[in-house]
């Protein structure tokens, strides 16, 4: 008999499973990216895939992000379901034009559906420095026509990737590198998806809502455990999908708690937290009992050296301090 | 070689059909220019005056299931794929009956049902997209081919090089045309690239390249046919540089004073429609009555198009909100 522990998979394995199952389920699904073939990808997510699915369904590309994202768009419009690996989300800047001008606009302009996924391993805490640790979701948050997801758990990672692959639109899938091997869970044996556009309350609480996504969900959960001893009860809303934003879940939580903290690892200015804070000011002003606080990275590139990166990244202590401040209102 | 001798390889009906599309393109674009001068068209008007033979030539060489990813001076290709003059004018007028329902303007026409990938103003953006369509065909073992085009200026962009490289590495069934009309807006070729012929760019990708007279519809057609044949038989992409001259400004608002008048005078003598007429006469296909009949037919079709477009409704403002996202039933099977 297998034990529960034996069935545990990491966040990374959950992504790999989703790809494998979708490729087996639908022959239109194929993978493109740098070094994803015999090497198995920079993070080994596609290890063994080429052997199983062949050279054309696990397609090693030239070092050419704009070129292969463009190619994925063309293939998607012809009825394929490409999943592009961006190796590091930072390199997505090279493909920015193809994503925002071509993929995002084709359906709106002339009705062509572009069912593709771009996997973008993002985030810091891995000493990657300015070009291997970015959180570029804000760049695309402002670009109509794209869907954006950012899972925080193995369950969501698998379910959202499957949903993204089945979605008829271009979806950017931000997978957090810090979580790859640190977060584990037992997943259901049967096929499941996590619907795009649905946030989840990862912890219920009555005092303060923390709206977050990605790796910082886990910081919020840690902070909640510390704060409960002080009698402060956090409710944690994990967005899971950034576009389309699940406003109902956010508003319902803030209406309940009357206080809100926006928490993300991306830079503060113009980040997703800023947009949600503005929405709350527009829609939930009457029920707010304190200022909407933002916890985010400072407006600098991601630094390399340990003390610099530690200073840069949001910490549990930041959440605890913000919650105490809000609780005093 | 004598043009008419070369053109003998092409069927009479095909040549006459190309002549018809050359005329249709010219007449339609002249009509659009006139509407623009009357202030009835807002936004830019980008024409292929003097370069009609390129799009007409390459699009005539394709089969029904093939795909094009044209650039903004390929009106003839739209028409050959079945976009009607009325739809083109409706598109220019921002009407709901235009292929983009008013969401986009002028030559930004796309329609997958008719095998047309919509043009993106960021030049060369659709070249990687064309390689992706070709990739899908190759992966599925279909014998379909993609033709894409860009101007000389577009070949300076990274996406041009990324597309050619990928297509060549994977031997994709795609044909890259370059409409070398010697000016990218006001920038002359010698400030665009240090090489003399654009076709030299293809060498870096081990891709066969060829220069054709872009004002000769038969030459363009035959070169396209060879490249398509190569692509269909699995031998990979080809690059074709069609040399021509842009006889109008970048857009109709641009008087193109930066182009030496003598140069235009010289190219005027090589007008693609005139050349096609000479060729048809030489071959004995183009008696006066036949050509006149085509001219009259084209005029009628364009006028019917103007009427259709003018009578078409404008979209309602709230339609701006429609269509940001696709639904599953819109995905290509």
What number is the ipTM of this complex?
0.96
pLDDT tens profile B137-159: 999 999 999 999 999 999 999 99
Q: Is the per-residue pLDDT at A5 higher than 60?
A: no
pLDDT at B3: 67
pLDDT tens profile A301-313: 999 999 999 999 9
| For residues A22-39, average pLDDT | 98
Among the partner residues B117, B122, B130, nearest to A97 by beta-carbon distance: B122
| For residues A52-77, average pLDDT | 98
Q: Any CB–CB contact under 8 A between A193 and chain B?
A: no
Q: Which residue of A has its CA nearest to B66?
A: A78
Confidence band (pLDDT; 50, 70, 90) for A288? Answer: very high
pLDDT at A6: 61
pLDDT at B1: 52
Among the partner residues A72, A107, A112, nearest to B132 by beta-carbon distance: A72
pLDDT tens profile B50-104: 999 999 999 999 999 999 999 999 999 999 999 999 999 999 999 999 999 999 9
pLDDT at B114: 97
pLDDT tens profile A125-162: 999 999 999 999 999 999 999 999 999 999 999 999 99
Cis peptide bond prior to A244, omega within 30° of 0: yes
Q: Which residue of B has its CA nearest to A114?
A: B331
Contact A68 B330 (CB under 8 A): no
Instruction: Report the C-alpha gap between B304 and B19 in whole angstroms.
Output: 20
Confidence band (pLDDT; 50, 70, 90) for B42? Answer: confident
Mean pLDDT (chain B, rounded): 96
Structure tokens at B104: 């986009």
Q: Is the per-residue pLDDT at A3 higher than 60?
A: no
Confidence band (pLDDT; 50, 70, 90) for A1? Answer: very low
Q: Is the per-residue pLDDT at A88 higher than 60?
A: yes
Instruction: Report the C-alpha gap between A175 and A257 in whole angstroms.
Output: 29
Nearest CA distance, B170 vs chain A (angstrom): 9
Question: Hey, is A141 helix, strand or coil?
Answer: helix
Q: Which residue of A has its CA nearest to B161?
A: A67
Give Cα B208 distance to the centre of its chain. 21
Is the separation of the CB atoms in A127 and A310 below 8 Å? no
Instruction: Report the C-alpha gap between B103 and B43 in whole angstroms.
Output: 13
pLDDT tens profile B5-27: 778 889 999 999 999 999 999 99
For residue A241, give every residue at least 6 positions away whose Cβ sits within 8 Å of its Cβ, in sequence order, or none.
Answer: A147, A148, A149, A150, A160, A196, A197, A198, A199
Residue A264 appears among annotated catalytic residues: no
Q: Which residue of B has its CA nearest to A244?
A: B325
Residue of A132, A176, A218, A264 marked active site? A132
Nearest CA distance, B4 vs chain A (angstrom): 38
**B-chain residues near A57 (CB < 8 A):** 139
**A253 φ/ψ angles, rounded to the nearest 5 degrees:** -70, -45
pLDDT at B286: 87
Q: Is the per-residue pLDDT at B124 higher than 50?
A: yes
pLDDT at A290: 97
pLDDT at B97: 97
Is the separation of the CB atoms in B25 and B305 below 8 Å? no
Crossing angle of helices A65-77 and B158-169, in 10° steps, is 70
Instruction: Report the C-alpha gap between B157 and B163 in whole angstroms.
Output: 10
Is the separation of the CB atoms in A292 and A277 below 8 Å? yes
Is the separation of the CB atoms in B146 and B69 below 8 Å? yes
Instruction: Report the C-alpha gap between B20 and A175 in whole angstroms.
Output: 55
For residue A204, give every residue at least 6 positions away whose Cβ sits within 8 Å of its Cβ, in sequence order, or none.
Answer: A235
Confidence band (pLDDT; 50, 70, 90) for A224? Answer: very high
Contact B325 A115 (CB under 8 A): no
| For residues A240-268, average pLDDT | 98
Instruction: Report the C-alpha gap between B266 and A45 in whole angstroms.
Output: 61
Give the count of beta carbons closer than 10 Å to the beta carbon of residue A203: 18
Question: Hey, is B213 helix, strand or coil?
Answer: strand
Q: Which one of B129, B143, B144 would you mutate to disrupt binding with A, by most A Cβ within 10 Å of its Cβ?
A: B129
Nearest CA distance, B8 vs chain A (angstrom): 36
pLDDT at B333: 84
- pTM, full prediction: 0.97
**A-chain residues near B104 (CB < 8 A):** 109-110
Which strands form B174-180's sheet, in the order they lie side by side? B67-69, B146-151, B174-180, B238-243, B209-213
**A-chain residues near B327 (CB < 8 A):** 113, 168
Q: Which of A236-240, B2-6, B56-60 has the lowest mean pLDDT?
A: B2-6
List Cα–Cα distances, A192 to A22, A152, A154, B194, in angstroms: 11, 16, 12, 56
Give the count of beta carbons closer than 10 Å to the beta carbon of residue B244: 27
Nearest CA distance, B136 vs chain A (angstrom): 5
């Amino acid at each position: 008999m297998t034990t529960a522990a034996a069935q545990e998979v990491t966040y990374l394995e959950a992504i790999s499973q989703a790809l494998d199952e979708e490729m087996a389920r639908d022959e239109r699904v194929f993978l493109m990216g740098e070094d994803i073939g015999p090497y198995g990808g920079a993070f080994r997510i596609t290890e063994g895939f080429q052997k199983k699915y062949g050279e054309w369904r696990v397609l090693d590309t030239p070092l050419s992000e704009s070129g292969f994202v463009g190619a994925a768009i063309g293939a998607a419009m012809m009825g394929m379901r490409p999943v592009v690996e961006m190796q590091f989300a930072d390199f997505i800047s090279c493909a920015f034009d193809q994503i925002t001008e071509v993929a995002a606009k084709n359906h709106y302009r002339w009705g062509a559906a572009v069912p593709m996924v771009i996997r973008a391993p993002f985030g810091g805490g891995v000493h990657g420095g300015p070009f291997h640790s970015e959180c570029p979701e804000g760049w695309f948050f402002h670009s109509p026509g794209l869907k954006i997801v950012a899972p925080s758990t193995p369950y969501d990672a698998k379910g959202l990737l499957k949903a993204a692959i089945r979605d008829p639109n271009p979806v950017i899938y931000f997978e957090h590198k810090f979580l790859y091997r640190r977060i584990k869970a037992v997943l259901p044996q049967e096929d499941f998806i996590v619907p795009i556009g649905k946030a989840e309350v990862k912890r219920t609480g009555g005092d303060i809502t923390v709206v977050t996504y990605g790796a910082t969900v886990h910081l919020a959960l840690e902070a909640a455990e510390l704060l409960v001893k002080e009698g402060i009860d956090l409710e944690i809303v994990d967005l899971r999908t950034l576009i389309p934003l699940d406003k109902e879940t956010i508003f319902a939580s803030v209406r309940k708690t009357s206080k809100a903290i926006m928490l993300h690892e991306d830079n503060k200015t113009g980040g997703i937290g800023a947009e949600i804070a503005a929405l709350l000011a527009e829609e939930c002003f009457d029920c707010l009992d304190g200022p909407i606080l933002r916890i985010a990275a400072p407006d600098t590139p991601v630094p390399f050296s340990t003390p610099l990166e530690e200073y840069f990244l949001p910490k549990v202590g930041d959440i605890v301090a913000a919650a105490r401040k809000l609780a005093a209102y | 070689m004598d043009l008419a001798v070369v053109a003998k390889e092409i069927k009479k009906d095909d040549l006459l059909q190309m002549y018809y599309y050359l005329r249709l393109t010219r007449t339609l674009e002249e009509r659009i220019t006139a509407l623009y001068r009357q202030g009835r068209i807002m936004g830019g008007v980008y024409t292929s005056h003097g370069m009609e033979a390129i799009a007409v030539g390459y699009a005539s060489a394709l089969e029904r299931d093939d795909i094009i990813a044209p650039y903004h001076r390929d009106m003839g290709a739209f028409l050959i794929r079945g976009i009607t003059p009325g739809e083109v004018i409706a598109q220019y007028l921002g009407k709901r009956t235009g292929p983009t329902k008013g969401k986009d303007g002028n030559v930004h026409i796309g329609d997958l049902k008719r095998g047309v990938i919509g043009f993106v103003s960021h030049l060369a953006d659709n070249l990687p997209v064309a390689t992706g369509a070709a990739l899908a065909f190759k992966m599925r073992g279909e014998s379909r081919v993609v033709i894409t085009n860009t101007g000389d200026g577009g070949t300076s962009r990274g996406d041009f090089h990324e597309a050619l490289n990928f297509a060549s590495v994977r031997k994709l069934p795609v044909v890259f045309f370059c409409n070398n009309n010697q000016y990218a807006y006001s920038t002359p070729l010698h400030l665009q690239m240090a090489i003399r012929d654009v076709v030299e760019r293809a060498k870096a990708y081990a891709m066969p390249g060829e220069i054709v007279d872009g004002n000769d519809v038969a030459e363009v057609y035959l070169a396209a046919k060879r490249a398509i044949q190569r692509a269909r038989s699995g031998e990979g992409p080809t690059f074709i540089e069609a040399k021509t001259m842009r006889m109008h400004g970048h857009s109709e608002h641009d008087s193109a004073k930066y182009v030496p008048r003598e140069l235009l005078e010289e190219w005027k003598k090589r007008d693609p429609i005139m050349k096609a007429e000479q060729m048809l006469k030489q071959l004995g296909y183009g008696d006066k009555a036949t050509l006149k009949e085509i001219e009259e037919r084209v005029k009628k079709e364009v006028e019917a198009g103007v009427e259709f477009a003018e009578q078409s409704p404008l979209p309602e403002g709230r339609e701006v909100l429609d269509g940001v996202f696709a639904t599953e039933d819109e995905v290509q099977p």
